[in-house]
Structure 1
Amino acid sequence: MDTLRVALVHSFYASAQPSGENEAVRDQARALRAAGHEVAVVAAHTDEAARSRLHPLRAAATVASGRGRSPVPELRAFAPDVVHVHNLFPNFGRSWVRNWPGPLVATLHNYRPLCAGAALFRDGATCTACPDGSPFAGLRHGCYRGSRLATAPLAWANRRGPDGDPLLRRADRLVLLSESGRRTYVRAGVAAERTALIPNFVDDPVPRPAGGTGGRWLFAGRLTPEKGVLELLERWPADEPLDVVGEGGLLDRARAAAPPQVRFLGRLDRAELRRRLPGWRGLVFPSRCLEGAPLVQVEALAAGLPVLAFEGSSVAETVRARGTGTVVRWDEPLGPVLAAAGARFPALRTHCRRIFEDHFTEATWLRSVEDLYCGVLAARTARH
């Protein structure tokens, strides 16, 4: 296809909180450039903005009003064929999108336009009170960082639902990463025909993962309430070996809850985690929230690693649909489930790798996103 000029707009989250969104944007920029497209990443970095003591006030005002830093000067200088917005929170305003004249698509990595906490999660369970018609429920419960004050700008910005969000209204197409994510946004009022399902990808690991049983189970993620790590460790059988990779505010409580066979490895950089993935028995995914489409699941499939997912997340839905592991209910005794999965998972490794090759490669993503860009360009040309 012809070379396109693509601008990716992204507000990078702080490095203290590792983000799959940040990694996905970097991966996509690299993939588009490798395919011959001209790419500009128009970025704001929370690490830089947070050096100012006024950053919290500026970010709150930007989120509440939609006005603030705009990528438009950089976009005009680059003159893209397509603008692809990933994340504007909290450093970019949103009002600029109303007047952007060219094709614009947006990836919805999380549920922030519907939920101040971005995860549709509260008190240990999925919560859809705000999109279901109580837009200030998040404010009452302090759903962003446990603070009503911090939640107020987000609650105000989301008060009119998806139809009141400038980005959701303006985008020519909205990219969702999972079927459950698409259903959630459609149920909240986004027109299904404006959505496109394009899952995340990871580049192909080299060498290919070898067969094997692996000795220990793996949890990899932030140690925060919505990830379900405490509930997992409280149920974890004493004789099953588990490695916990990640950091977060629940680390001390997680250590206290863990049986002796659990090791805490801290944070591993992405390359090291991917190198080591084939050596584990399986990825345990106990998330208590819906999730978007976490990269660690795709990285596990690339390594031929099956997934043990707890009911209730998009990962559990994918595991069930693709046959890439086992889905377990929270009320099931975990010991027998782990024994059965441990016996079954070695034979699933080739299948998991095949699912990765069929659905989650860079080439598959590139074809889908190029088709999307060409579609919005053609539609804009037809209207004008």
Structure 2
Amino acid sequence: MRIAVVHSFYSSRVPSGENQVVLAQVEALRAAGHEVALVARYTDERLRRASYPVEAALTTATGVGPDPTAELAAFAPDVVHVHNLFPNFGTGWLRDWPGRVVATLHNFRPMCANGYLFRDGAPCTACPSGDRWAGVRHGCFHGSRVASLPLAWRGRHGAPADPLLARADALVVLSERARRTYADAGVERLHVVPNFVSVTPAAAVAPGDRWLCVARLTPEKGVLELVRSWPAGVGLDIVGEGELRPAIEAVAPAGVRLLGGMDNAALRAAMGGYAGLVVPSRWFEGLPTVYLEALAAGLPVLAVDGNSAADDVAAHDLGVVVPTSAATEDLRAALAAITGRGAELRRRAGASFRARFTAPTWCDAITGVYDGTGVRTRGEVPLSA
């Protein structure tokens, strides 16, 4: 199959898991024998122009902007897979493209200016619920009403009218929670295809007694709330950087270490030595890559309710889910419950990863979406395997 992947790459100034996912999927499709062309625009390159902020705003608001049609026509794909057009591609070309189009919705930007459906410390669905200008009033994109205006204008008719969502023959979301959220907003033709990670088996190590949290230190990730309630004396290593680091450092109890950013290879190599992963996200979130990497390393998971990782933990018995209101003693009890089932949960985590989150499994599923037959999977292996 000839597949054209279209992606607007986010700036390298802010690490983007989405950028890495797109590159990994291109390589997985090629490894599976498909011909793949990556049609891309890069924010880092366009930022060199002083006029770029205005260009990006106009492209977002009007849909008039860089057009990949010539590159697509030259490749003549069987299917065009769009990951992200914001803010470096226009949308006008979609009306005239005659072939099959599939789009992956990595976030909620078609119905939310900041893409997270999160504001003031809690989930927010004001815009998809009909208050189309809430994002402008609250300055939801980069804290700016002016910067939020083009996104609100583009979304003023609701998510089903978004040019990409309206044109695509199939829409891929990363979790059942994301599917429900888009469906509640009136979007159809949705298929759940989680991401995957390709991992090299690490040397076996005995699990330690410290816990791991990997996240941007920003409000929607919930790390500040986690640290405020974390039991003193219980080891927790936090990998990541962000605006909330000073606030987190100020309230961190004994046992909590902020390690800053870490190379992904080093992080993966170290994972197996932790007691488990903690996922405190307060926004809905797709299944984050670090969650898949943790399962691959055999880590059980403590997750805060309300995000897709927590849904997965509960559905497949991979750890414990606590409410967003969890106090210190609630966390202490949850950690003890996971530790008490440590060996069993580590086996379940590894088996669940192998059954659901490998590159071949993803390729099978996405190929079914490409050819219009729906998601194809290899089926789960028994968790006792």
Q: TM-score range by the shorter chain?
A: over 0.9
Alignment size in residue pairs: 371
* 1:201-220 pair list within 5 angstroms: 201-207=196-202, 210=204, 212-220=206-214
Matched, 1:39 2:8: no
Distance in 1, matches of 2:160 and 2:124, equals 20
Q: 2:318 aligns with which of 315, 318, 324?
A: 324
Q: 1:127-172 CA distances to partner (integer Å, 9 max, x unpaired)? A: 0010011111111111111111110010001110123211000000
1:98 aligned residue: 95
Q: Name the SS of the counterpart of 2:197 in structure 1.
A: coil
Distance in 1, matches of 2:15 and 2:115, equals 16
Distance in 2, matches of 1:345 and 1:177, equals 28
Structure 1's consecutive aligned runs of 4 or more residues displaced over 6 angstroms after TM superposition are none
1:127 aligned residue: 124
Q: 1:306-349 CA distances to partner (integer Å, 9 max, x unpaired)? A: 11100111111111001111101132332222222233233211
Residues 103 and 376, structure 1, Cα contact 8 Å, conserved in 2:
no
Residues 11 and 44, structure 2, Cα contact 8 Å, conserved in 1:
yes
Q: 1:25-79 CA distances to partner (integer Å, 9 max, x unpaired)? A: 0110000111111111111111111122221111111111111111112111211
2:253 aligned residue: 259
User: More displaced, 165-174 or 42-51?
Assistant: 42-51
Q: Name the SS of the counterpart of 1:219 in structure 2.
A: strand
Distance in 2, matches of 1:6 and 1:273, equals 32
1:288 aligned residue: 282
Residues 302 and 334, structure 2, Cα contact 8 Å, conserved in 1:
no
Q: 1:252-273 CA distances to partner (integer Å, 9 max, x unpaired)? A: 1111121231111111122221
The runs of 5 or more residues in structure 1 that have no matched partner are: 378-384
**Cα-Cα RMSD:** 1.4
Q: 1:173 aligns with which of 162, 170, 174?
A: 170
Q: Name the SS of the counterpart of 1:62 in structure 2.
A: helix
* 1:16-165 pair list within 5 angstroms: 16-165=13-162
1:381 aligned residue: none
Q: 1:197 aligns with which of 192, 199, 202?
A: 192
| TM-score, normalising length: structure 2 | 0.93
Measure how far apart 1:211 and its partner are: 6.3
Percent pairwise identity = 56
* 1:348-367 pair list within 5 angstroms: 348-367=345-364
Q: What code does the residue aligned with 1:117 have?
A: N
Residues 115 and 138, structure 1, Cα contact 8 Å, conserved in 2:
yes
Distance in 2, matches of 1:369 and 1:43, equals 20
Q: 1:75-104 CA distances to partner (integer Å, 9 max, x unpaired)? A: 112111110000111111112111111011
| TM-score, normalising length: structure 1 | 0.94
Residues 211 and 349, structure 1, Cα contact 8 Å, conserved in 2:
no
Q: Name the SS of the counterpart of 1:214 in structure 2.
A: coil
User: More displaced, 256-265 or 306-315?
Assistant: 256-265
Residues 230 and 254, structure 1, Cα contact 8 Å, conserved in 2:
yes
The runs of 5 or more residues in structure 2 that have no matched partner are: 375-385
User: More displaced, 11-20 or 175-184?
Assistant: 11-20
Residues 291 and 309, structure 2, Cα contact 8 Å, conserved in 1:
yes
1:270 aligned residue: 264
Q: 1:224 aligns with which of 215, 218, 221?
A: 218
Matched, 1:8 2:2: no
Q: What code does the residue aligned with 2:201 have?
A: V
Q: 1:190-211 CA distances to partner (integer Å, 9 max, x unpaired)? A: 12xx11111100113324x636
Q: What code does the residue aligned with 2:152 have?
A: A
Q: What code does the residue aligned with 1:269 have?
A: D
Measure how far apart 1:216 and its partner are: 1.0
Q: Name the SS of the counterpart of 2:70 in structure 1.
A: helix
